[in-house]
Amino acid sequence: MRTNTVKRLLREGKPAVGTWLSLGSVTAARFLARAGFDFLTVDVEHSLAGVETTTHILGAVADAGGVPLVRVPAGRHDHIKRVLDNGGYGIVVPMVMSRQEAQEAVAACLYPPRGNRSVGGSVHALNFAATPADYYAKADDEILIVLQCEHIDAVRNFDEVYSVPGVDAVFVGPNDLMASMRDAAGKPPQPETFQQALADILAGCKRNKIAAGIHTFSVEEAKRRIAEGWQFIAINSELRFMTDGAKAAVDALGKVSGDVAKY
């Protein structure tokens, strides 16, 4: 059975760098799976990708030797079960706000007696190049469990929320975290206030001996975060890589480039 190389890197205190898949494109995933990233995360929370498309993307990434992850729409048992049974090497759970939510997410990833994941599926073993028996015996040790910290209230209650056994990493969604810190008039926080919140998350991860993760939007930012001690690093998305490349070409030709969403 294949090992989850990202989980190994994080446990060894090393960084793992990947990107987000937000277009629901199997073909784009096939190419990026060969680009050298440590992981690719299918964003099912915000994208158009349904379970069938997601399953094909997971298979394409796994068959290329990559580590396919899924950001589920929410930390529900059925969401988590379905993407793991269809071949995900791990999950990213958005907007975790309480210890109970963290416990439920972890339990959904693990088979009894450690959790309450139900036994079923077939593609999961295929993606790990394992027999079903080997998968059921070893999956608990290979599934990567990442919980997102995206609200300032979760930062303030960090130890209570994220100290649940089984959590591999806490991943910051910077856009939502910043949005949660707006004042009553909708004004965003001062840069130093936001950076302090990130420092608090990083310190909380170190206290609880779990990897700290964050989404970055440039190579320079990714390198800076790694130097600070962040490990689970996402950089851009396939959409942003495409639109940034197109914008650079259009700008170089003296054309007027349009402003489009590219998260």
- Asked if 151 is an active-site residue, the reply is no
* Number of Cβ within a 10 Å radius of residue 203: 13
- Tokens representing residue 117 in the block: 């994941």
Which of 46, 56, 124, 151 is catalytic? The answer is: 46
Whole-number Cα distances in Å, 263 to 86, 155, 236: 25, 23, 7
User: CA angle, 184 as apex, 157 and 171 as ends, to 5°?
Assistant: 35
Determine the angle formed by the axes of helices 99-109 and 77-85, rounding to 10 degrees.
30
Query: Where would I find the beta strands (DSSP E) of the chain?
Result: 16-21, 39-43, 68-71, 90-93, 144-149, 169-172, 211-216, 232-237
* Number of Cβ within a 10 Å radius of residue 130: 18
- Residues with a catalytic annotation lie at 46
